[in-house]
Chains A and B, each alone.
Chain A
Amino acid sequence: MSKFEDHLWQEFVREHGHDLAQMCRSAARPTLRPRVVAASGLGLAGVGVALALVLGAATAAPAFAVTRNHDGTVTVEILRSAGVAGANAELRQLGVRAEVMSKAPAACQTYAFEQVAPTTGGHQIANAHWTIDPRTIPAGRRLVLTPASEGNSGNSGSGGQVYNCPDNFPYRPSSPASGDSGNGGSS
């Protein structure tokens, strides 16, 4: 392999290897995707395909849940940091331009849209949740949801942060919250 390809693999393993090792292969293929999806052990960012299939095989406690509410808002819950990537994948599946990250990129602005009501988050990306309204996300923008303890200056309520970011492509894999291997366990 070339130097780039070796480097890419090393970076991938460092950021996501543990989570991939925890992944179960699923033979079962449900034909319907549940409206509320909960997962465990899936710590990869950028997942966008057939997430629910993985979740069907999960036997441990759920790591995240993404719920489309009756009023059109979407609630994102991260119960363990291993659920970050799965939640992001589900958001993509739902067509919601929002992403959970451990820290907002510098290009982002503190959220300033009153229609959206972000709620609490935790110190790590665990036991954190946000409720957002996808209809209020302006074209060309993406929301980044972060916990409150990363030193960001945003103020979105009692813990969680919501940032208004450029929706440029591609977003790099987001890492689980620092200090957490992605295996979770403290829900």
Chain B
Amino acid sequence: MSTLASVGVAMRDGSRDSVLAEFEQVYRSNVGGVTAYFARRCADPQTVADLTSETIVRAAGAFGSFDPGRGAARPWLFGIAAHVYAQYCAQAANGRDAALRLAGLADLPVDEIDELAGKIDAQRAGRELIERCAQLSALEQAAVELVDLDGLTPKEAAAALGVPRGVLRKRLSRAHARLRKGNHGDE
């Protein structure tokens, strides 16, 4: 996979013909991470697919205004994913049946369901870490996930979460300390 830095450089071109190619590069570099992000949260492969799809479509719609000079694509995309998931949760909390889908929407082929189910299984360790983070604040949980599981730098995580870098670093440090303390307490 190409680095986000290289994606950022390529995107400075900005010509009409290159937009699709640029977006494809962003997609290919990040869709795995976005899928994993949802696979940690949802047990249903179809839901993981829907949320990933929604994130990509929203990102494409906003791509015209995405400015790589202000930050890499990866945190930008994770910010959109977080928003999509929050919206999904809010609607689920309102009692709406999130699994109910409109007629005419294509279901996933069996092999892709199996593939996503495998990805959901593979995120078990990530889910366990998230569960251990339940004692932390929402910001600390998100920081730990983005940095420790999704591989963002603290700077990128701060951009994705919309908080100052110093705040992110401080919260991340505190979260790690609390998690370590929790580990020792379990022993």
Chain A interface (Cβ within 8 Å of chain B)?
1-5, 7-9, 12-13, 16-17, 20-27, 29, 42, 44-51, 53-54, 57, 85, 89, 103, 105-107, 140, 165-173
Contact B100 A12 (CB under 8 A): no
A7, B66: Cα distance in complex, Å: 25
Chain A binding site: helix, strand, loop or mixed by DSSP?
loop
Q: Is B96 a contact of A168 with CB atoms below 8 Å? A: yes
Indicate if the CB atoms of B16 and A170 lie closer than 8 Å: no
A22 and B56 form a contact (CB under 8 A)? no
Q: Is B186 an interface residue (CB 8 A)?
A: no
Residues of B at the A interface (CB closer than 8 Å) are 11, 14-17, 19-20, 23-24, 27-28, 31-32, 35, 49-54, 56-58, 60-67, 80, 84, 87-88, 91-92, 94, 96-98, 100-105, 108-109, 111-112, 115-116, 119
The one of B67, B88, B103 that contacts A170, using a Cβ cutoff of 8 Å:
B88
Task: Let me know if B27 and A44 touch, CB within 8 A.
Answer: no
CB–CB A12/B65 < 8 A: no
In the complex, which residue of chain B has the Cβ closest to the Cβ of A12? B56
> Who on chain A is nearest to B69 by CB?
A27
A49 to B63, CA, bound (A): 9
* Selected contact of A8 from candidates B56, B100, B101, CB within 8 Å: B56
Contact B96 A4 (CB under 8 A): no
Given contacts A168-B91, A169-B96, contact A105 B60 (CB under 8 A): no
The 10 closest A-B pairs by CB, nearest first: A47-B61, A106-B103, A53-B65, A49-B62, A46-B57, A105-B102, A54-B64, A25-B14, A50-B65, A21-B20
Q: A24-B16, A25-B64, A53-B65 are in contact. Are A48 and B98 (CB under 8 A)?
A: no
CA distance A85 to B91 in the complex (A): 22
Given contacts A3-B115, A170-B88, are A23 and B63 in contact (CB under 8 A)?
yes
Nearest-neighbor residue (CB-CB) of A167 within chain B: B96
Bound Cα distance from A172 to B84, whole angstroms: 13
Q: Is the CB of A168 within 8 A of B20?
A: no
Closest to B96 in A: A168
CB distance from A126 to the nearest CB of B (A): 20
Give chain A residues whose Cβ lies under 8 Å from the Cβ of B50.
170, 172
Contacts of A4 in B (CB 8 A): 35, 49, 108, 112, 115-116
Contact status of A49 and B80, CB under 8 A, knowing A4-B108, A25-B19 = yes
Q: Given that A1-B31, A20-B19, A46-B57 are contacting pairs, would A107 and B65 also be in contact in the complex, using a CB cutoff of 8 Å?
A: no
Which residues of B sit under 8 angstroms from A29, Cβ to Cβ?
65, 67
9 A-B residue pairs with Cβ-Cβ distance under 8 Å, sorted by A, are A2-B35, A2-B119, A4-B49, A7-B112, A20-B63, A23-B16, A25-B15, A140-B96, A169-B92
Minimum CB–CB distance from A104 to chain B (whole Å) comes to 9
